A and B are shown apart, each in its own frame.
Chain A
Amino acid sequence: MDSTIPIIIDSIKREDVFPFTRCFYFCIETTTPSPGWELSAPWYRGPMVLLGMSAIILGPTGGEGRFESPDSFERLIDIFDQDELDFYLDQNALWVPNMLLKKGRHERGSVYRMSLEAFRLAYAFTDERIEQGLFIEKAFGMQEAVFFSPDETEAFAKWDKMLLEEIRTIYHENRSEMLLKKDMTLGPGFEIE
């Protein structure tokens, strides 16, 4: 099992005073008591009810190590984003120094993976528990702890494209319920696109 954490680039800041990239990661959020889970940890193994727990996603369901196909992202949604469940698939931001993302494709939408040690540090910074200077200083020793994941980048982009096509289809099948278009040339009045 791959124990690195997938992160996706959201926004890159290039200011000298703040050379960081905002990424996001997927996690499962539980907001109401949720039965049927089992915790396996060095200090405990057994059934439990989850409540207010955030579980960070390391990989796709089914035991595959990485998100190497669009379907692997789609299955996450299928499984975790059902209205009747007590949990859902959420996403949270994480600030990562630009210097840790230089190897690879440092651009929006790229997927990288980072070690738990590097993630902990980035999380502490994002959560305002360590200062920027200390984070940068420690990051110098973590150049190998963050790496580009080209296959997952491609899979994420393909999933997004599939998603857009599906939503466009839904739009065209339900056009009569969608927002009308203003008639920009004839003044007041609307027309259907």
Chain B
Amino acid sequence: MSLLRVLVLDVGWGDCIIIESQDSNGDWHFGLVDCNDTSSNQAALNFFKRRVRTEDYPNIHDDHFFKFTLLTHDHADHGQGLKGMMREFGTEWFWYPKEGQRAVQSNLMAYARRSRKVQKQQALDYTRALPNLGDVTMDVLWPQPEYYDPDQNNNSVILLLTLHEQAFLLTGDAEEDAWSHVASQIPRNVKFFKVPHHGSRNGSLDGNGQPTWLGDCPPDAMLGISCWARFNHPHQEVIDLFNNAPQDYLRTDLHYHLIAQTDGISPVTITYHR
């Protein structure tokens, strides 16, 4: 039986998401999306080092433990911990958005260029065909080729993970402009939806206060918010919106690590580690 598990880690501000996939042969495959670890807080690194031991994943000695590492967009709260993770675990691919004026991303690209811990690096847009992660298919819904917004959030890679009949959607910090292109493409089988930009107003509402993606998100999808109250995340208007929507939601500041799991057919299980 195949399995897809997405772990949205409570890392304070920023994002760190780990994808675990077991294929029908029982082999495990892993992906990493963003990491906000800092010198003084290596929450994700420490969590995952413990997890691979306790779960006894056989791949732990692989030189490239992660099939891929994705920087959704070039902001420090999504990328500053990636080098530590890649250095510790190794990755076959390092992916990032295609265009833009780089900042944190430069150092990561420079590292990936030389290190044996990273096999290959490549920029993504939705024209690229991604490899499977075990039995899970992966599709980039955004950005489109040649797109660049000075607001890096809109350049976020939006990644769709599908196992058999069910899908999970990871959205980076995508805002109004990205959603104006992508919202209508949200598949009806999405069962877990990572709320963009930590539940901020501009991640879920347009300039007129209207929802940008919620109406296109399946009503039975669970919403996961990676957030930290210090930056007014999630915004009260967004919480009010969610409270009146059919979807349920969980937030890392209240529920800590969120774990969504599916075999692609049975009802999705959502747990949290408080």
Residues of A within 8 A of B (CB): 8-11, 15, 17-18, 22, 24, 26-27, 29, 31, 54, 74, 77, 81-83, 88-93, 108-109, 127-128, 156, 159-160, 163-164, 166-167, 170-171, 174, 177-182, 184, 190
B107 within 8 A of A: yes
Across the A-B interface, the 8 shortest Cβ-Cβ residue pairs: A93-B76, A54-B39, A10-B76, A160-B106, A182-B129, A179-B128, A77-B110, A10-B103
Residues of the B chain whose Cβ atoms lie less than 8 Å from the Cβ of A26: 107
Residues of the A chain whose Cβ atoms lie less than 8 Å from the Cβ of B121: 167
B115 engages A8 (CB within 8 Å) = no
- Report the separation of the CA atoms of residues A90 and B111 in the bound assembly, to the nearest whole angstrom: 10
A177 engages B120 (CB within 8 Å) = yes
Residues of the A chain whose Cβ atoms lie less than 8 Å from the Cβ of B115: 81, 83
B80 within 8 A of A: yes
Select which of A81, A108, A127 is within 8 A of B40 by beta carbon: A127
A174 engages B120 (CB within 8 Å) = yes
Of B77, B126, B128, which is in contact with the most chain A CB atoms at under 10 Å from its CB?
B128
Of A77, A82, A167, A179, which is in contact with the most chain B CB atoms at under 10 Å from its CB?
A179
- Report the separation of the CA atoms of residues A141 and B76 in the bound assembly, to the nearest whole angstrom: 28
B116 engages A89 (CB within 8 Å) = no
A159 engages B127 (CB within 8 Å) = no
B128 engages A181 (CB within 8 Å) = yes
B152 within 8 A of A: yes
B129 engages A163 (CB within 8 Å) = no
Of B84, B106, B109, which is in contact with the most chain A CB atoms at under 10 Å from its CB?
B106
Name A's interface SS: mixed
Residues of the A chain whose Cβ atoms lie less than 8 Å from the Cβ of B47: none
Q: Which chain B residue has the least Cβ–Cβ distance from A56?
A: B39
Select which of A82, A90, A160 is within 8 A of B84 by beta carbon: A90
A77 engages B111 (CB within 8 Å) = yes
- Report the separation of the CA atoms of residues A8 and B102 in the bound assembly, to the nearest whole angstrom: 11
- Report the separation of the CA atoms of residues A167 and B122 in the bound assembly, to the nearest whole angstrom: 9
- Report the separation of the CA atoms of residues A63 and B98 in the bound assembly, to the nearest whole angstrom: 36
B103 engages A109 (CB within 8 Å) = yes
Jot down 23 A-B pairs with beta carbons below 8 A, ordered by A.
A15-B232, A17-B232, A22-B76, A22-B77, A24-B103, A54-B40, A77-B110, A77-B111, A81-B111, A81-B114, A82-B114, A83-B87, A88-B83, A88-B84, A90-B39, A90-B84, A91-B76, A91-B104, A92-B76, A164-B109, A174-B120, A177-B120, A179-B124
- Report the separation of the CA atoms of residues A11 and B152 in the bound assembly, to the nearest whole angstrom: 9
